[in-house]
């Protein structure tokens, strides 16, 4: 990728993980690769440092924000949910980082793409709630992946989702009514936040994609993982290309504003 003055900078959220006696701010390479190859942008990894980060100051320096997936779950206390089970994987430092960043991105009109846990964080950040165990709900399928299988199998296409007619996601995907997606999540949206609109739904009623009503720019969340081998699936390419175009437009606008100020 050739860097130009308008090359967009996309923030990529990290998780805080412990190993031995150390903690690491980490993000899967697939997310970094998707920003570079799919969005044509420069990824900027954001550490999970919670209140030590000024979200508005950081967002003001970015052209896009991608909120990544993670094995961890949003703390139920943040949406008034019941206490999690003992085997729940939590990341309070990430919660304290991502939720304010999401709100700041929407306030400033920074292009926003939320993936898997990111979709759930978007819903919680705007006042919605989550199901902690979707597969235990009557009529729902098991959306979790089989961790005994290879990565290729786990990230393979798992089930169809139907797109909302006339929706923002459908427009990005050339007007198709239905697509096949992978599925690697245990939690999902329960009560949809007031500002969100459903963009796609699985046949069992699980919300699979949302947009932010009244957003000043690109603002979408998906429950599946389009970042996985992003260039190999047309729908993933289209989604990241649209996100990259929005980030590039913001980068150009910021550059034009700086040029005007220096004249």
Q: Supply the DSSP string of 202-238, one letter for each residue.
A: ETTS-EEEEEETT-SS-EEEESS-TTTTGGGSHHHHH
pLDDT for 34 equals 98
For residue 171 the two structure tokens come to: 């427009």
pLDDT for 6 equals 63
Please measure the distance between the N-terminal and C-terminal CA atoms of the chain and give it in whole angstroms: 30
Tens of each residue's pLDDT in the chain, 263 residues: 444 456 899 999 999 999 888 999 999 999 999 999 999 999 999 999 999 999 999 999 999 999 999 999 999 999 999 999 999 999 999 999 999 999 999 999 999 999 999 999 999 999 999 999 999 999 999 999 999 999 999 999 999 999 999 999 999 999 999 999 999 999 999 999 999 999 999 999 999 999 999 999 999 999 999 999 999 999 999 999 999 999 999 999 988 887 787 65
Q: Which value, in Å, is the radius of gyration of the alpha carbons in the chain?
A: 18
Convert 179-195 to b/e letters by CB count within 10 Å (16 or more is b): bebbbbbbbbbbebbeb
Q: Which helix (H) or strand (E) holds 111?
A: none
Rounded to an integer, what is the distance from CA 88 to the centroid of its chain?
A: 21
Q: Which helix (H) or strand (E) holds 66?
A: strand 64-67
The full length of the chain comes to 263
pTM, entire model: 0.96
pLDDT for 3 equals 44
φ, ψ at 35 (rounded to 5°): -65, -45
**Hunting for tokens 């590039």 — which residue is that?**
248
Q: Which residues are catalytic?
A: 116, 225, 227
Considering only CA atoms, which of 231, 204, 7, 245 is closest in space to residue 113? 245
Considering only CA atoms, which of 206, 204, 201 is closest in space to residue 190? 206
For residue 217 the two structure tokens come to: 């720019």
pLDDT for 21 equals 87
Going by C-beta distance under 8 Å and a sequence separation of 6 or more, which residues neighbour residue 110? 59, 62, 63, 64, 65, 104, 217, 250
**Hunting for tokens 């929005």 — which residue is that?**
246
State the greatest distance between any 2 C-alpha atoms of the chain, in Å, as a whole number.
63
* DSSP 8-state code for residue 36: I
């Amino acid at each position: 990728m050739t860097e130009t003055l308008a090359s967009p900078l996309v923030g990529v959220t990290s998780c805080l993980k412990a190993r031995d006696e150390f903690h690491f701010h980490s993000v899967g390479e697939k997310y970094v690769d998707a920003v570079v190859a799919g969005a044509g942008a420069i990824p900027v990894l954001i550490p999970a440092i919670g209140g030590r980060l000024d979200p508005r100051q950081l967002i003001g320096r970015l052209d896009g924000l991608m909120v990544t997936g993670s094995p961890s779950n949003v703390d139920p206390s943040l949406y008034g949910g019941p206490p999690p089970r003992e085997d729940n994987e939590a990341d309070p430092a990430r919660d304290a980082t991502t939720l304010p960043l999401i709100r700041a991105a929407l306030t400033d009109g920074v292009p926003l793409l939320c993936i898997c846990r990111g979709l759930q964080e978007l819903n919680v950040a705007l006042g919605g709630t989550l199901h902690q165990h979707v597969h235990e709900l009557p009529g729902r399928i098991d959306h979790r992946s089989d961790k005994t299988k290879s990565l290729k199998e786990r990230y393979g296409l798992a089930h169809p989702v139907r797109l909302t007619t006339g929706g923002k996601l459908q427009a990005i995907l050339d007007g198709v009514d239905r697509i096949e997606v992978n599925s690697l999540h245990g939690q999902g949206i329960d009560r949809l936040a007031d500002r969100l609109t459903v963009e796609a739904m699985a046949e069992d009623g699980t919300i699979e994609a949302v947009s932010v009503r009244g957003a000043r720019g690109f603002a979408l969340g998906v429950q599946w993982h389009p970042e996985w081998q992003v260039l190999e699936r047309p729908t993933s390419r289209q989604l990241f290309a649209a996100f990259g175009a929005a980030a590039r437009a913001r980068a150009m606008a910021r550059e034009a504003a700086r040029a005007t100020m220096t004249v």
